[in-house]
Amino acid sequence: MTSSTTRTSTTDRQIHLGIDLTSAGARRVTSRVPVASFASAFDAERLADLVAAAQRGTLDFVAIDDTFRLQPETVGLLRGRLDAAVVASRLGKTTRGVGLVATISPEATDPEHVATALQTISRVSGGRAGWQVDGSAPDRAVTAVTRAVSSVAPTVVRVRTDAQLERAARHADVLRIAATDLDSALEQRRRARTIAVEAGRSADDVLALVDVYAVTGPDAESAQARVELLDAFEGTDVVAQHSDSLIHVGTPLDLAELAEAWFAAGAVDGFVVTPSSLVADVAGLVDGVVPALRASGLFRREYPGATLRESLALTPSGVEALAGV
């Protein structure tokens, strides 16, 4: 099945956009960067500003992984990590509209405790909690949490293999899929929807969002120059580190056009963008991609309701099939 033979009407659908702010934690130390420069590597105000930008752009959600760090782990400095659930709870009190998706491992934490944490985020945020989990997590633990929180927190699963997609499409609300070309995205979304129906759900109960690593600039040359600067800063091939994501190196308008094309082809329900630079790429998404999609009638101008489920246009509970699991 190819993009030339598969077209999906977008009349009643709009693109969903999430942003992964895990990189708002401190970068690792390299010999090229003075230790003193990390004094301002992360603070709560900066994270709040980033989430406020996502809210201004009416993005569906921000995602924070369980590797989110308070300070860099290096000799001579205090080590620490901010728990993703704690961060989401704090943000829930000061934000409106934007979903707060926290990664909490059901392997490292008892499923009952995971459910309690998510219910807390939902309560303080007015229903904007989301739970992110890796596709390799044990089915039994994921199912237990999903059952407990399906009415308050959509489940977002990052899938990287066919087997993970097969399992996740039976219970998850959102799949973060790895697709580096249109045909791969088409096939994965098609399979996810088919599996959902086979599990007794509606095909629309599962959304397929493609992970994108974005390096944006005012023109293609500037974006490519930023890639070279990133490589020099990290001392490694940064783009290669994100090889399981769709890589975008170009302008925000280019990214909007790609998003529109993939959406029109029925290959995606949306995208989760990981910014290479918190300043440049968050601004590129909110002030460049979003206005272009709005101009095409493909993205909202305001939140449709108070909860994350409403933003994602999901039914009150997308896990009816779990009753028989």
Q: Quick one: average pLDDT of 50-66?
A: 95
Locate 72 and state its tokens. Answer: 């860099």
Global pTM reads: 0.86
- Which secondary structure element, helix H or strand E, spans residue 156, and what is its range? strand 155-159
Parallel/antiparallel/unpaired status of strands 61-64 and 99-103? parallel
274, 23 contact by CB (below 8 A): yes
- pLDDT at position 80 over 50: no
Is residue 75 classed as helix, strand or coil in its secondary structure? coil
Q: How far apart are CA 247 and CA 36, in angstroms?
A: 32
pLDDT at 317 (0 to 100): 53
Report whether pLDDT(166) > 50.
Answer: yes
Supply the pLDDT for residue 315: 78
- pLDDT number for residue 32: 43
One-letter amino acid of 123: R
* 104 contact partners, CB below 8 Å, separation of at least 6: 66, 84, 85, 114, 117, 118, 131, 132, 133
Helix axes 84-92, 111-125, angle to 10 degrees: 20
- Percentage helix, strand, coil, to 5, in the chain? 45, 15, 40
Label residue 97 by pLDDT band (50, 70, 90): very high
For 35, 56, 231, 232, the CA distances from 30, given in Å and listed in that order, are 9, 34, 12, 10
pLDDT greater at residue 242 or residue 3: 242
Length of the chain counted residue by residue: 325
Measured distance CA(217)–CA(172) in Å, rounded: 34
